[in-house]
Amino acid sequence: MADCIFCKIIAGEIPASKVYEDDEILAFLDISQVTLGHTLVVPKKHFRNMLEMDGEAASQLFARIPDIARKVMKATGAKGMNIINNNEEIAGQSVFHTHVHLAPRYTENDDLKLTFVAHEPNFPALAELAEKISKA
């Protein structure tokens, strides 16, 4: 895709600090470095996001992530790792080429903040929703 920044990186038109590359996948350091070692893993074939990918393409992408994540953790000395994928603007996607963030974690006070709010479970409503999803 001509106007996609990640496609331009893949094509070598824009420089990137590459940490892994093969025929299908490219991983490079995010220029924002939310945490030290923040890496993006992208398929070389353009997909808008994970929702557009087929099983084979997703399998190619996710098959490489554990090894790349371990290498990032080893190189940076991180204590943990958030592996994040955002799909569509409402979910925080800002570049519309499938990518997975590998965000090394060092302390609870580093620059990445994720908050989940727990709610009292409504088991009948959950069962109804599960059935609706399974039939969709």
Q: Is 99 an annotated catalytic residue?
A: yes
Q: Catalytic: which of 46, 99, 101, 119? A: 99
Rounded Cα distance, 51 and 53, in Å:
6
- The residues annotated as belonging to the active site are 99
